[in-house]
Amino acid sequence: DAGVTQSPTHLIKTRGQHVTLRCSPISGHKSVSWYQQVLGQGPQFIFQYYEKEERGRGNFPDRFSARQFPNYSSELNVNALLLGDSALYLCASSFVTEEQFFGPGTRLTVL
């Protein structure tokens, strides 16, 4: 069975640019969550979507947005990139329950 997949694996952008990260959940999973992990810290919750509706939002500025598609895949968009947005972005999917399955992440570098 395919796990959670994320694309791209690595990304380099410059300040002020916009970025779109993509996530495909495990087949059958209807919930997708996004996290930002800065080096040396734990994952910080950004968004959770369930059945295409936003269920939860972390403490991130409006530059961060996300959406979930009918096939349950998801995109995370970040506008007006800052140097501090450089991080590993993790996507996790779950069926309904608390057990989340994480993808390998997208490493974003902002120069």
Partner 1 sequence: DQQVKQNSPSLSVQEGRISILNCDYTNSMFDYFLWYKKYPAEGPTFLISISSIKDKNEDGRFTVFLNKSAKHLSLHIVPSQPGDSAVYFCAATYNFNKFYFGSGTKLNVKP
User: Is 58 among the residues that bind partner 1 (CB under 8 A)?
Assistant: yes
User: Is 16 among the residues that bind partner 1 (CB under 8 A)?
Assistant: no
Comparison of 35 and 72: residue with beta carbon closer to partner 1: 35
User: Binding partner 1 by CB under 8 A: which of 13, 44, 64, 86?
Assistant: 44
Least distance between partner 1 and beta carbon 101 (Å): 7
Q: Identify the sign of the CA torsion 27, 32, 38, 40.
A: negative
User: Is 10 among the residues that bind partner 1 (CB under 8 A)?
Assistant: no
User: Is 64 among the residues that bind partner 1 (CB under 8 A)?
Assistant: no
Give whole-number Cα distances, 106 to 5, 9, 54, in Å: 10, 5, 21
20, 38 contact by CB (below 8 A): no
User: Is 24 among the residues that bind partner 1 (CB under 8 A)?
Assistant: no
* CA–CA distance, 59 with 68 (Å, rounded to integer): 19
